[in-house]
Structure 1
């Protein structure tokens, strides 16, 4: 088996799994990237094989487009996407596979976000890009929406 080059963020959210899923899956633009950046996920096709295209907008006019497809969409539990292919299954990147999942935990929900990379070098690059800070900020934003 090959090595798993994974970065992970996890946190407890003091809200029921149904509430967390609703916000996580259907209010994505509100938490998907750290403020003051904003995300446009209007091109998402929430199903396995569907487009996971996202556009990130920065506070100084930056625009970063991210293509990809959903590998799975398990309603109420998790979704996973990759940038290794585009929506028409043309090879791209690849940089990572992202997995976002929830599970009941006590009176709330355990949220886990994973970034799996093809190489250790790509994983280290993602760390240096600010993975921990960025994905933690997103988890905090998600929690605030769910708990508010």
Structure 2
């Protein structure tokens, strides 16, 4: 079975060098990670295989997602990050929803950014679509692009 069968993704060209795109991804996640007016709080980002990733999102009407926790499976600085929510820190299994793949590829004078969500099942994929993958991740990618390009302009 092809992984693309359970895959959703967004991609955009960013007019900024890959090093700046990487720095924005690693250091400014609270500014772009969820569609505004929602706010993201990075609880922990231990960027190494097996390291904890925990983010919480807050909505404009008091909504709180609670910590969304997972672990990093692969970290290739400035190129690619893979994480999953199938485990909490310490390799503790939890109900899986997706594996996220974030890639940063040099393209022309900028960077091709792609964010991919691979789901464990058709049901999980459909649930993510119904939750608003598009336009939510589209807006996230646009916010990320804007922040990267602004950061490149002042660098």
What residue number does 1:107 align with?
109
What residue number does 1:116 align with?
118
Q: How far is 1:3 from its partner?
A: 3.4
Please give the alpha-carbon distance, in whole angstroms, between the structure 1 residues aligned to 2:8 and 2:145. 20
What residue number does 1:8 align with?
9
Q: How far is 1:107 from its partner?
A: 1.0
Q: Which has the higher strand share?
A: 2
Structure 2: which 5+ runs fail to align? 151-155
Does structure 1 retain, via aligned residues, the 8 Å contact 2:69–2:88?
Answer: yes
What residue number does 2:93 align with?
91
Cα RMSD for the two superposed structures: 1.0
TM-score, length basis structure 2: 0.91
* 2:129 counterpart SS class: helix
Structure 1: which 5+ runs fail to align? none
1:27 paired with 2:36, answer: no
TM-score, length basis structure 1: 0.95
Q: Name the count of aligned residue pairs.
A: 147
Runs of 4+ in 1 over 6 A off after TM superposition: none
